[in-house]
Structure 1
Amino acid sequence: MSQAVIGADAPPAPTGRKTAGRLGDSIFEWLCRGAGILVLLILGAIILTLFIGGLPAFQAFGFQFLWSTAWNPVEGRENYGAFISIFGTVVSSVLAIIFAVPVAFGIAFFLTELAPEWLKRPIGTAIELLAAVPSIIFGMWGLFVLVPFVQQHIQLSFGETLGELPLIGFLFASNSFTGTSLFAAALVLAIMILPFIAATMRDVFSQVPPVFKESAYGLGATRWEVVRNVVLPYTRISVVGGIMLGLGRALGETMAVTFVIGNANRLATSLFDPSTTIASVVAMEFPESLMGSLKQSSLLALGFLLFVISFLVLAASRYLLRSRLKA
């Protein structure tokens, strides 16, 4: 009873404080909303700029620009196509994901399930430091170290052992011995995106409630069975998100790929053929293009197509996640 009386007799909160609190909340709300809208406006402005800049190329070549393999900058006979660079971008990025995801999963599995406590922090720090290395350093290292290694120890071995296989042997044929190739570019990209995927997997694996894993262990499950049947289903959305983050980095990478892919405007028929990507073409040839020229318009059109490819990849991953959640 005394508590009720005291509560009833307590003075009301000052009106000025309430008003100031509401004003602060409103300002904070509009600032957050403005930040979100600003991101959309910047993204829309970039896409619109690329589309308007590439419009003359789309008008000159039509839909043929998408599947044409031509790239002839000679004045008076200019003819440009995007298929080779699109092909190189997609293939190198997909190969990088194929190389990086199993290694990233192994690192995350080791750090969360197998590594002793004294070893977890040094390895985790090393992974985070690897993500901070500039891309041009990866490119220089790839050119002087990785490319000769691929040329001497991987390309020749694969060509001799797998080049004669029916149907798929052409993928491992040694048509060029420069060492710069789609395979080398994919390896460099895999090393670059590895820390992003591994760090994401490690963080989400460690967030799984211990009671879930302890229950599986209590039923006699092995470590691998716990990860496969408990950890991965619980974290699949975040794992796919980390993989998509790495894929997005691979699709847009420029300098590291430019060093090791060979920058050859020809359609690669083997993993060890030199090729090119959208980002490397733009980086190599944009400084030489004249303002308002058809070549510059074609390069801007390539940039717009890279945005479209990234959007399609993100949309596909969202669709797959939603379909799995509904299932």
Structure 2
Amino acid sequence: MTDKIAVLGAGSWGTVLANLLVENGLNVALWTHNPKQIPEINETHHNQHYLPDFVLHDCLRATTDLAAAVAGATVILFVVPTNAIRSVAEQVAPLLTDQQPIIAHAAKGLELNTKLRVSQVLTAVLPKGAFRGPVVISGPSHAEDVATRDITTLTVASTDLQAAQTVQKLFMNDYFRLYTNTDVLGVELGAALKNVIAIGAGALHGLGYGDNTKAALMTRGLAEITRLGTHMGANPMTFIGLSGVGDLIVTCTSVHSRNWRAGNALGQGEKLPDVLAHMGMVVEGVSTAKVVHELAKDQDCDMPISEGIYQVLYQGAPIKTVITDLMAREGKPEFDFGLTLQNASKQV
């Protein structure tokens, strides 16, 4: 019997992942809260708002019936915006009876107010013992490129390695490859924090800065991501992998990145409310910047680039002033090896 996979969320990423699973020969139910998407996906095989001109597999079916979508599913994959994870999980919770599906997610952010990672939200909301996982799918990937079968490699992370391996096998094909990892903390932090740095990368482009500046931002941005991650107990090696530097590269350099496009617009002088209104999709890095600001304070962790981006987004600081202030900071060594080794020894 073919495994049934429930994909929750019919945005660009959810739709592409659901379509890939159908192409892999699996039975997929794609859930959406928007009834207007149903005839478009089921009858015309398009999702034009999110994936213009991409033709979906004619066996892919969407529904607004959440209970029907998850019924009998061996894997339930959450692909909704981070700050919608809790509300959707609350709806899924009473539907988990005795099937014990693997719970997975492909979101990249941190929940506002609670500062929780997505796997923590899912674990808190869903009934204990009613599921396996959670499993995190993350790494350098844009839906638009996967839709054209561009070669893509991702990380699939869980403390339940068998669950991660199960998800790995479901997705693997000749253009989509996944590597397992047990460092859920590091994978989720890398996925979320790179969105903040990508806003900065877009802003630099909008201001007309060149490749040297972009490389500086990405490299020192990665240092900040690693610093906070290791402070919190993540494996430092995770941040030089697919869900760390890999995801950072693609998000900071691609016009497909909503975070990059938002930053680019800010760099060109647009106001944040206008940028978000015109985007038409969630820009995860904006809310994540606020959470990172709070986490850095909680952890007493120095993150000047992330803090500068927070000041631009939430305090109206001029981007050029933030750049000047960053460049005027006191000189310091590139690496603090003692701190790195100390934090690495505290991995959980």
Normalising by structure 2, we get a TM-score of: 0.22
* Structure showing greater Rg: 1
Instruction: Judging by fraction of residues, say which structure has more helix.
Output: 1
Larger RCO: 1 or 2 (CA < 8 Å, sep 6+): 1
